[in-house]
Chain A
Amino acid sequence: MTTLDSSKEIQKNNSEVNEKHEDFRMFGLITFLIADGMTFAGFFAAYLTYKAVNPLPDGAIYELELPIPTLNTILLLVSSATFHKAGKALLKDKNSDSQRWLFFTAFLGIIFLICQLFEYFHLPFGLTDNLFASTFYALTGFHGLHVTLGTLMILIIAWQSRINGGRVNRQNMFPLEAVELYWHFVDGIWVILFIILYLL
C-alpha cells in the first residue's frame, strides 16, 4: 500500500503497466525543497543587502530580545529529534509510540508558533515602521507559514498512523519520511534565520 495506490486515477492510468519502478517521490520532494530554499535565499539576500546599504532612520529599534527566539530554536531542534524518534518507532511497527511522538512534535510546533506570536505582540515596532521591521516580519512570517503548514501535516500523518484504518505504517513510510524531511528543512532554515536575523 502506498499513497499512490490510494489514488484511483493513478491506478487507472497505470493499469497496463505490470512492473515496479523506483520510488522517486522523495527525489521530487528534495527538488521542491531546493526551490523553496531559493525563496528563502532571496529573502536573506534582500535582508543582508538592506543591512549593508540602507541606513535606518534615527531612533529605529533593530536590536532584538534573545530569550524567546533562543527558546524557539531549542523547541525546533528538539522537535526534529522527536520526529526522528517517531520514524524509528514506526520502523519497529510500534504505531502508537510513533503516534505519541508525532503528537509531541506537533505540540512543540504549536508552542513555537505561540512563542512567535507572543514575540510579535511584544516587539516595539510594527510591520511598516521601517525597513528592518518589514524585513523582520516578512522573513519570520514566511518561516512561520512553513511551520504552520508543517504542523498541520504532522497532525495529519499522526492521525493516519493510527492502528486501525491508518494509512501510514511500516509498509508505507513515505508520508512520514516526506514530512520529516520537510520538517528538518524548516528547522534548518530557522537556524540560518536565527543566526542572520538575531545574532548578526
Chain B
Amino acid sequence: MTISIDTQKTNNESLQPKGWLRYFSFSLDHKVIGIQYLVCGFLFYLIGGTLASAIRIELASPMSDFMPRDVYNQVLTLHGTIMIFLWIVPVVNGAFGNYLIPFYVGARDMAFPRLNAVAFWLIPPSGLMLVASYFVEGAAQAGWTAYPPLSITTPQSGQIIWILSVLLLGGSSIFGGINFIATIIKLRRPGLKLMQLPMYCWAMLGTSLLVVLSTPVLAGTLILLSFDIIAKTGFFNPVLGGNVVVYQHLFWFYSHPAVYIMVLPAFGLVSEILPVHARKPLFGYTTMVFSIMGIVVLGLVVWAHHMFTSGTPPWMRLFFTIATAFIAVPTGIKFFNWVATLWGGKISINSAMLFSCGFIINFVFGGITGVALAQVPFDIHVHDTYFVVAHFHYIVYGGTVFIIFSSIYHWFPKVTGKMLNEKLGILHFIITFIGFNLCFAPQHWLGLNGMPRRVAEYDPQFQLVNQISSLGALLMAISTIPFLINVFLSVRNGKDSGDNPWNALTPEWLTSSPPPVENWEGDAPLVEEPYGYGKQFSEQK
C-alpha cells in the first residue's frame, strides 16, 4: 500500500513562523525539533547542574549545615531525575537523533513528523511540573529510583508529581523510539543498504529497540506504585503483604537498559566524529554493528546486578554476574575499534576531537569499575556507596556528556553555518576534563572506604577528599561559562563555516549549512561509503 502525498503546491514558507520564533512553534521539521530538544535539554542541564552544585556545597562539610536533610533528599532526587530524563535521554536520543537520522537515511523528515512534535512537546511541561513540585509540598525524596517503601512513606504530593512526570517523559521516549525504528527501517532512500548506514543509525536503532521494549515496563511499574501511594494497595508495601523486590526487578528491567539508552547513542556519535577528524575510515564497521546489537540483547538480561544485596538467590547472582561480564566483550570491541580508527590517522586536535578522546579515557575507567561492580563479593562491599556514584558519573558524564559537547562542536557549523571559537572550545575541554576527574575520581576512594551515598552527613575523616571533590565540581560549573560565551559569540558573529568545514563524507554535510527545509535541493545523495576517507582523497589526487 502506498500513500499518495498531496501534489498541490502550497506556500509552505508563509504559513510557518520564521527565524527564532519557529523554535517555539509546533514545528514538524525534524531539524527544528532536534534543536528544540537540544536547547530544552541544555536548560534542564543547567538546572540539574545547579542542584549538583548544591549537593557538593553541602558535602564540603561533614554536617548538614547548608540545607536541611529533607531538602537535601529532594535536591538529589531532582538532580538525578532531571539529568537522566530531561537532559541525557532527550538530548542524546531526541536532539541528535532527530537532527541527523533523516539525513543519514536520505529522507526529508522523520517517518511520523506529527508524532515527533508531540514527543518533544511532552517534555517541557513534564519537566516544569517536576521542578515545580519542589514548591508545592516539597519534591520527591526517594531518589531517582523511587524504591518503595521509601517512596510510599515520604510526602505524597511530590512523589505523585514525580511519577506523573516520569510517565509523560517515558511516553515521549516511546513515541520517539517508534519514530526512529520506522525511519531507519522503512524510510531509507532507495538503494541504501542497511550495512551502508552511518554507525549512529545502528546505535539509534538499537537504542530505540531498548526504549520500545523496556520503557513500557517502567510505566506499568510506576502506575502500580502510584496505586500504592494513592489507593493504599499493597503491591510494593511489605506491611500489606506486598513485595518490594518485585518493584526492583521491574524498575531495573527498564533502568538498566536505560543506561544503554544513554550511552549507545553516544557510541554512535563518537563513531561519526572520530573518522572525520582522524581522516580515516571507521575501523571494523561490521564488528561495530554486531557489538551494538550484542549490547542490546545482553542489556536486556543483566538488570538484577543492581540487586545483589536484595536477597537475590545464588543462581540469579551467578547468571547476572556472568551476563554482565559478557557485556564487556562487545563494549571492548568498540573501544579497540575507536583506538584503531585513530591509529596512524591524520588527527586534528580540535575541540570535537579532544572531547571524543576525553570520552574514550573516561569511559574506560567507568567500564572497568562496571566490570568490577558486576562481581558479587565486590558489589556487596561497595553497594550504595560513593563508588557507585563515581562509576555512574564516569559513564554518563565522562562518557555521554563529553560526547554531547563533542557533537555540539562537531555539528554546530552544520546547524548554524558558523564555526565555534576553537580557543574557547579547548579551554572548555581542559576545565571540564580536569574538573570532572577531580570531582569523581576521589569518590572511588570514598566509596571503597564506606561513605554511603544519598546522605547529607558523613564521617569527618572523609572531609578532605570530599572537599577535593567539591573543588572539581566547582571547576565543572565554571566550565560551562566559556562554552556559553562561545555559543553566543559564534551564533552572532562567528566565522563562516561554508557547507562542509570538516570535509566530511557523511550525508548531512552534502547539503548546504544550515540545510534547507526539506534537507536537499533535488534528490538525496546515495552515500555508499560514509567513512571512505583515505580512499576518496587518493582517488581525487
Within 8 A of B (CB), among A3-29: 4-5, 7, 9-25, 27-28
A128 at the interface (CB under 8 A from B): yes
Residues of B close to A142: CB separation below 8 A: 220, 223
Whole-angstrom CA separation of A23 from B399 in the bound complex: 38
Shortest distance between the CB of A66 and any CB in chain B (Å) = 25
Question: Do B28 and A9 have beta carbons less than 8 Å apart?
Answer: yes
Residues of chain B at interface, number, CB under 8 A: 58
Question: Do A131 and B178 have beta carbons less than 8 Å apart?
Answer: no
Residues of B close to A130: CB separation below 8 A: 234, 240-241
Whole-angstrom CA separation of A54 from B242 in the bound complex: 7
* A contact residues, range: 35 or more
Shortest distance between the CB of B35 and any CB in chain A (Å) = 17
Shortest distance between the CB of B429 and any CB in chain A (Å) = 38
Residues of A close to B115: CB separation below 8 A: 28
Question: Do B233 and A128 have beta carbons less than 8 Å apart?
Answer: yes
Residues of A close to B5: CB separation below 8 A: 4, 14, 17-21
Question: Do A134 and B3 have beta carbons less than 8 Å apart?
Answer: no
Which residue of the partner chain A has the closest CB to B111? A24
Question: Do A13 and B12 have beta carbons less than 8 Å apart?
Answer: yes
B406 at the interface (CB under 8 A from A): no
Whole-angstrom CA separation of A49 from B111 in the bound complex: 39
Whole-angstrom CA separation of A5 from B213 in the bound complex: 31
Shortest distance between the CB of B441 and any CB in chain A (Å) = 38
Question: Do B518 and A28 have beta carbons less than 8 Å apart?
Answer: no
A56 at the interface (CB under 8 A from B): yes
Cβ-neighbour of A24 out of B7, B16, B187 (below 8 A)? B187
A59 at the interface (CB under 8 A from B): no
Residues of B close to A128: CB separation below 8 A: 231-234, 240
**Residue-by-residue, is B1-28 near A (CB-CB < 8 Å gives 1, otherwise 0)?**
1111111111010011000000000001
B113 at the interface (CB under 8 A from A): yes
Whole-angstrom CA separation of A34 from B177 in the bound complex: 12
Q: Provided the pairs A24-B182, A45-B250 are in contact, do residues A13 and B242 lie with their beta carbons within 8 angstroms? A: no
Whole-angstrom CA separation of A10 from B517 in the bound complex: 14
B199 at the interface (CB under 8 A from A): no
Shortest distance between the CB of A176 and any CB in chain B (Å) = 13
**Residue-by-residue, is B114-126 near A (CB-CB < 8 Å gives 1, otherwise 0)?**
1100000000000
| 22 contacting pairs across A/B (C-beta < 8 A) | A4-B3, A4-B5, A9-B28, A11-B8, A13-B113, A15-B8, A19-B5, A21-B2, A21-B3, A22-B1, A22-B186, A23-B1, A24-B111, A38-B212, A39-B216, A42-B221, A43-B220, A43-B224, A50-B246, A128-B231, A134-B234, A134-B235
A interface list, Cβ under 8 A from B: 2, 4-5, 7, 9-25, 27-28, 31-32, 34-43, 45-46, 49-50, 53-54, 56-57, 127-128, 130-131, 134-135, 138, 142, 174
A-B pairs, top 4 by smallest CB distance, nearest first, are: A42-B217, A39-B216, A24-B186, A134-B233
